Amino acid sequence: MVPSSFVIVAILACAFGFVEANYHRKSCVVKGGQSKDIDDGPAILHAFKKCGQHGRVLFEPQTYYVNSVMNVSWLKDVDIEIHGTLEWSTDIMYWLNNSMEVGYQNQSTAFIIGGDDVRINGFGTGTFNGNGDDWYKWIRQQKNTSNYPGRPHALTLSHLTNSAIHGLRFLRSQMWTMSIIHSHNVVLDSIFINNTGNSAQSSNTDGADTIYSSHIIFNNWTVYNGDDSISLKANSTDITISNCKLSNGLGIAIGSIGQYKDQFETVERVSINNIDYENTLHAFYVKTWTDDQNGYPPNGGGGGLGYLSGVKVTNLKATGLRGAAFAVSQCTRFSGAPGVGNCTNSQFQIENVAIENLSGTTQSTRVASLQCSAVAPCTDITIADVDLHLANNTEANSYLCGNVMSPTGFTCTGDVCVGGSATGEC
């Protein structure tokens, strides 16, 4: 639902990057320089400084060229209307040296939005273009092709509360599209993401990741990407994901989690409902680090504590799943070579997870691949009302288990593969 405070008013234009008007509230129109050689970042920041509290910031139907980092983390009671496109530069060295800390896993970002009572509307056309093709080609040439230091997220919502974002489009994000950290009571509605590379396959382009956040609603998302469609990480609670269409990525993920040694983290009270999947690896999967610490985040770690509990996943329709519909791997260990670490010693507990009413087609015979910890076995796992078929119309009926206690709605049919994984299966 679009907040009722979004209104269209006539605003006088001027050439100074913003303009004020005596309407329902102080208003600023961002005026772009109309050239890739002109950084519109300063004009955007100036408009937010003038109208970011109890005001209105309007982006016109034009392209704004963003060549520098932007941090507007102090917003209050503001309407942000985006009718055009914000396009980020491809100066990779600038972004590697200047992207801002997210506050988790040594990740960084190009744009931070934070504050209270923030209302952003893209009207279905407002676009953030990360020019990711240049990043996708560049990262393929590096030894570290995933969490490269300084590679920025497109947008970080940091300490954002009581807010709503509607109708935004994200194209070819530089890395993760949206990181949501220390944010609470936020509705994210009708978001379109396409991180499909034109000239190189995208990597680590998650649709969204929640961290230390609660009461977040994802509704009516469309995501095309090559990694987690939506991922819930440390201390994500009361999360709702509904009415979404997810294509080509890994599916909805919990984790990775348990990456910080001796830190206690949870994911609790998650509702996932009415999701359409096309060519995703999984429908839903969980990935935790082992209890052995190998290196440090973002590409190393382990030894974390905590639990996942209270997850209900219902009404799922799949076309061409590439792996097990539901997967658990408690053997994430990016820094360790295969064979390093104990895949069954994670102290992170997975419990009270229910997946019901899943139908469609799959390329895998595996409905479930549950590689749980021997130290903290998976408990209270329900899988029911599954109707998955392969192309030859045979039923997918394999449920592979390791350290699964008293499953409900299904019977384990064999032993699960045990080995290092960051994507849910060996």
Which amino acids are annotated catalytic?
Answer: 227
Q: Collapsing DSSP states into helix, strand and coil, what is residue 47?
A: helix
Tokens 């969490």: give the residue: 147
CA geometry: angle 412, 394, 272, nearest 5 deg: 60
C-alpha 364/C-alpha 361 separation (Å) is 9
C-alpha 339/C-alpha 337 separation (Å) is 6
C-alpha 121/C-alpha 130 separation (Å) is 19
Residue 94, judged by CB atoms within 10 A of its CB (0-12, 13-18, 19+), counts as: middle
C-alpha 371/C-alpha 365 separation (Å) is 16
Neighbours of 120 (CB within 10 A): 24
First to last CA, the chain: 41
Query: What are 53's two structure tokens?
Result: 């509290």
Whole-number CA gyration radius for the chain: 22
Question: Going by DSSP bridges, is the β-strand pair 236-247/264-278 parallel, antiparallel, or unpaired?
Answer: parallel
Cβ–Cβ under 8 Å, residues 417 and 401: no
Classify each residue of 320-350 as buried b or exposed e, where b means 16 or more C-beta atoms within 10 Å of its C-beta: bbebbbbbbbbbbbbebeeeebbbbbbbbbb
C-alpha 280/C-alpha 317 separation (Å) is 11
Residues in contact with 117: Cβ distance below 8 Å, sequence separation at least 6, in sequence order = 76, 77, 78, 161, 162, 163
Cβ–Cβ under 8 Å, residues 302 and 293: yes
Residues in contact with 168: Cβ distance below 8 Å, sequence separation at least 6, in sequence order = 82, 120, 122, 126, 127, 128, 191, 192
Residues in contact with 146: Cβ distance below 8 Å, sequence separation at least 6, in sequence order = 203, 204, 298, 299, 334
